[in-house]
Amino acid sequence: MKTSPQEQIDIDPSLVLQSPHKRSGLSCFFWLLILGGLVAAGYFYFIQQQGNGQDAAQIKYKTEEARIGDLIVTVTATGTLQPTNQVEVGSELSGNIEAVLVDYNDHVQAGQVLARLDVSRLKAQVQQKKASLATAEAKVLSADATIQETASKLGQLEKIWKLSGGKTPSQFDIDAAKAATARARAERVGAAAGVDEVQAALNITQTDLSKAEIVSPVNGIVLSRNIEPGQTVAASFSAPVLFDLAEDLTKMELQVDVDEADIGQVQEGQEAQFTVDAYPERKFFAKIRQVRFASTTTNGVVTYKTVLTVDNADLALRPGMTATAEIIVQKAEQALLIPAAALRFSPQSQEKQQRKSSIFDALMPRPRFPRREKQVRQTDEEKDQQQIWLLGKNKQPKSVVVKLGLSDGSNTQILTGDIKAGDLVITTLITDRNQQ
């Protein structure tokens, strides 16, 4: 049956069948796309496996040997050196300094004159008081003579009164004589008191005269001198400090501030060692003499003053030096020690990135969920136990459970466990990539 050209135009183009050649081209393109994806995935998987194989081959472990040694746990504190007994020498008197007889670093003996005040005025006052004393003593002598005179007159009157049978003298005369005698004796008591008063004033002036010489109260060394000859000393309200003396610099004390977090470990009798900036390579030794209960707060930090005794026989240390002390609070001798870094090593966590992945994991990575570990209540003994890793003979990690003891931050004591001196303890994992 034939159709007209007009009818052919009206037919829907979608009803017209496609040619076999066009369908074949689409199928080829589809299969080529799938094949290209498989080739790319295979190449990616090959490269990843090759890289993982190289990383696995390059895995190495950094190790240190377990060893036998002494472990010392210390508490660090800073402070200053001070003399065991430091004395400030001053003056109770005011006046001009006539002479200064010592200088810095001079060794002095107890009773030695350090300086002398001008005493010309004090000497004049002593002479004046002595004259007053002599006058007071003369009054006592005069009072004694008056007593003797009045007593003699009273005796005569009483004798006459007896001889006359009470007719003469009159009672008035006898009473007057008795009163005169009593007054004479009272004047004598007053004169004696005047002597004591003047004597006391003289003693005060003589004492001031003796204090015009500034003497050393102890055997020691002159740390500082605060006066010069001709200088005026004013001691009106407080005694000015003229000299600072250290009694004995061969025995000193170190006062350090211990933090409140460490004070519970610090006790009297513990030993310590310290360094000063003047001798950075030398260690000095000390011993705790006192741990004070009074606290000091500086910028919100609470510390406690701790006093240590120091032997300074060679006089290398000087007052005021800043020292950094390490107080020995615990000590383990001939203990089995491992580096503290070994306690932080875990091959499961450090080799996690070295594990091989499948092609499906590479193409379709799955989300990672944290693994829930079973909560187990530990006993007191288990809390002191920890797992460490040793490098075995086959160069593979081997886990060992040990019981820990003391630690100074760098090394840790092993109390029990299947480990001995010389075993290689793994501290970290290294690769050639990390070394580059």
Provide CATH code, domain 60-69+336-359+378-435.
Answer: 2.40.420.20
Q: What is the pLDDT of residues 247-304, one digit of tens each?
A: 889 999 999 999 999 999 999 999 999 999 999 999 999 999 999 999 999 999 999 9
Per DSSP bridges, beta strands 424-430 and 271-276 are unpaired
Task: State which amino acid sits at residue 226.
Answer: N
Q: How far is CA 173 from CA 146, 157, 183, 187, 197, in A?
A: 18, 8, 15, 21, 36
Secondary structure class of 173 (helix, strand, coil):
helix
Comparing 237 with 146, which gets the higher pLDDT? 146
**Three-state SS at 355:** coil
pLDDT averaged over every residue in the chain: 82
| CATH classification code of 74-84+248-332 | 2.40.30.170
Contact between residue 208 and residue 122 where contact means Cβ atoms under 8 Å apart: yes
Q: How many CB atoms lie within 10 A of CB 119?
A: 19
Higher-scoring residue by pLDDT: 88, 47:
88
Q: Note the pLDDT tens digit of each residue in 345-360.
A: 887 655 554 444 444 4
Contact (CB, 8 A) for 384 and 403:
yes
Question: Rg (Cα) of the chain, in Å, rounded?
Answer: 53
Q: Given 1.10.3470, 3.30.70, 1.10.287, 3.30.1450, which CATH number is that of 87-233?
A: 1.10.287
The domain locations on the chain are 60-69+336-359+378-435, 74-84+248-332, 87-233
Is residue 255 within 8 Å of 80, Cβ to Cβ?
yes
Token couple for 211: 């204090």
Of the candidates 273, 309, 303, 304, the residue with the CA atom closest to the CA atom of residue 288: 309
* Per-residue pLDDT reduced to its tens digit, 369-414: 344 444 445 555 556 688 899 988 788 888 899 999 988 888 999 9
Confidence (pLDDT) at 385: 80
Closest CA to 96 of 234, 296, 246: 234
Q: Count H helices and E strands in the chain, helices first.
A: 8, 19
Tens digits of residue pLDDT in 308-331:
999 999 999 999 999 999 999 998
